[in-house]
């Protein structure tokens, strides 16, 4: 009897073990998977103001079956060598971005996948209202990466995505990425990603700046000699915000001033002298450091902006500049210091004029004296910022002259 009870217990345990294994096999795998045909891969999003109080959202999506046919002809999709775009654009009018996404999915009909999104472009009209409400949707999206680039269009974002011609064989999003990389390498414009933008929005005493993009005509000559004109992308400026709204675009010298203050000018080139009709030397920046120190006075605030630069001579065009001579090298350093000073001062003046603290001067007060910042933060931009004083100190050191010391000269 005892043996029978033991065997029954063993049998029950074996049955239970087998059931558990069977259920595990049934429940495993991609039970919640979504096939590629059911997804719409969004690479770029454009947001503009609509005629009413709503928004016009443009979604640029990949067409997977066209990826191998983008050059036409050989892929069988272009027919006669006519290029086939591997992407499509969909524009939707809605009350807000969230509703636009739902309407897009109803029209498409595929689920929008934002994990592949590379860039968000805000139209100028919508940006001047307030950039934060339209971007709120993306802050809540789990699949939205913080490395997505954020741009503001000079004009409408819809035109950038619909009319702009990318590099041959690329998506517009890929072209934007290449442009950002080139601008970073030469330290002219600072690209801003979503994470950096949100970080500045949520910090005290600083207004974000944002990369600006526009369309420019480009004329090219075809193989048969005929001229063709197309619209291409250009990134040559930055937009600055005040409490979340776009207030202005910076000139090139002002944008460079922001780069110097941020301490991110390594890789850039300074051409000297700035005010001469013909420059006679190009100096490449190998490293740069910056520091802002606020000084509180009875009349207001003084900011010491210290910039230290190291670099080397990239090109010399003036024959009477002998960089073997210490005095001539020091002359180049002084000219570089003047050039940097002018660009930083241009950025400071623009910040005071616009009442926009895109240089983060108020943040320095907050970091050094939080109690004082609590007293002035409500009036900082409109009452205190326009009257701040800046003492700019620039120190440049040229450490190398390249492979040769003297300019190239013909042999008499």
In sequence order, the 6+-apart residues with CB closer than 8 A to the CB of 180 are 149, 191, 211, 235
Candidates 150, 116, 128; CA nearest to 48 is 128
The 10s digit of each residue's pLDDT in 104-150 is 888 776 677 888 898 999 999 999 999 999 999 999 887 788 889 99
The 10s digit of each residue's pLDDT in 30-43 is 444 545 455 678 88
DSSP 299-322: S-EEEEEEEEEEEEEEEE--TT--
Nearest-angstrom CA–CA distance, 73 and 275: 53
Query: Would you call 169 helix, strand, or coil by DSSP?
Result: coil
- Assigned token pair, 257: 């001033």
Query: How is domain 254-412 classified at the architecture level of CATH?
Result: 2-Layer Sandwich (3.30)
Predicted local distance difference test score (pLDDT) of residue 295: 95
Domain ranges of the chain: 35-249, 254-412
In the chain, which residues have pLDDT < 70?
1-39, 64-84, 109-110, 168-171, 181-187, 222-223, 401-412
On whether the pTM is more than 0.85, the answer is no
Predicted local distance difference test score (pLDDT) of residue 179: 76
Predicted local distance difference test score (pLDDT) of residue 77: 45
The sign of the CA dihedral 337, 342, 343, 345 is positive
Q: Where are the alpha helices (DSSP H) in 202-325?
A: 252-262
Predicted local distance difference test score (pLDDT) of residue 85: 73
The sign of the CA dihedral 83, 88, 93, 95 is negative
């Amino acid at each position: 009897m005892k043996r029978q009870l033991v065997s029954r217990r063993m049998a029950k345990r074996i049955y239970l073990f087998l059931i558990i294994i069977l259920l595990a096999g049934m429940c495993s795998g991609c039970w919640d998977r979504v096939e590629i045909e059911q997804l719409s891969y969004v690479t770029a999003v454009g947001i503009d103001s609509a005629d009413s109080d709503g928004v016009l959202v443009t979604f640029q999506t990949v067409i997977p079956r066209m990826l191998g046919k983008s050059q036409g002809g050989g892929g069988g999709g272009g027919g006669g060598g006519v290029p086939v775009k591997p992407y499509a654009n969909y524009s939707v009018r809605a009350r807000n971005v969230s509703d636009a996404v739902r309407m897009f999915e109803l029209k498409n009909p595929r689920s929008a996948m934002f994990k592949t999104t590379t860039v968000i472009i805000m139209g100028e009209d919508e940006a001047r209202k307030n950039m934060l409400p339209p971007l709120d949707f993306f802050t809540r999206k789990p699949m939205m990466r913080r490395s997505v680039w954020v741009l503001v269009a000079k004009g409408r974002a819809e035109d950038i995505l619909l009319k702009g011609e990318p590099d041959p064989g690329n998506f517009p999003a890929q072209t934007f990425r290449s442009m950002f990389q080139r601008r970073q390498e030469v330290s002219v414009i600072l690209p801003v990603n979503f994470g950096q933008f949100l970080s500045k929005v949520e910090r005290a005493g600083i207004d974000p700046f944002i990369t600006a993009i526009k369309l420019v005509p480009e004329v090219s000559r075809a193989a048969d000699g005929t001229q063709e004109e197309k619209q291409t992308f250009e990134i040559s400026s930055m937009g600055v915000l005040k409490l979340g709204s776009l207030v202005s675009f910076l000139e090139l010298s002002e944008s460079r001033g922001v780069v110097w203050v941020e301490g991110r000018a390594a890789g850039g080139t300074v051409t000297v002298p700035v005010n001469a009709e013909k420059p006679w030397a190009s100096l490449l920046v190998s490293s740069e450091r910056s520091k802002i120190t606020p000084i509180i006075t009875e009349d207001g605030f003084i900011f010491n902006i210290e910039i230290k630069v190291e670099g080397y001579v990239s090109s010399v065009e003036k024959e009477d500049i002998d960089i073997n001579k210490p005095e001539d090298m020091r002359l180049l350093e002084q000219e570089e210091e003047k050039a940097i000073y002018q660009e930083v001062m241009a950025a400071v003046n623009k910040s005071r004029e616009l009442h926009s603290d895109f240089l983060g001067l108020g943040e320095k007060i907050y970091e050094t004296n939080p109690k004082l910042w609590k007293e002035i933060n409500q009036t900082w931009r409109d009452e205190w910022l326009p009257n701040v004083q800046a003492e700019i100190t620039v120190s440049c050191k040229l450490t190398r002259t390249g492979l040769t010391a003297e300019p190239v000269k013909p042999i008499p």
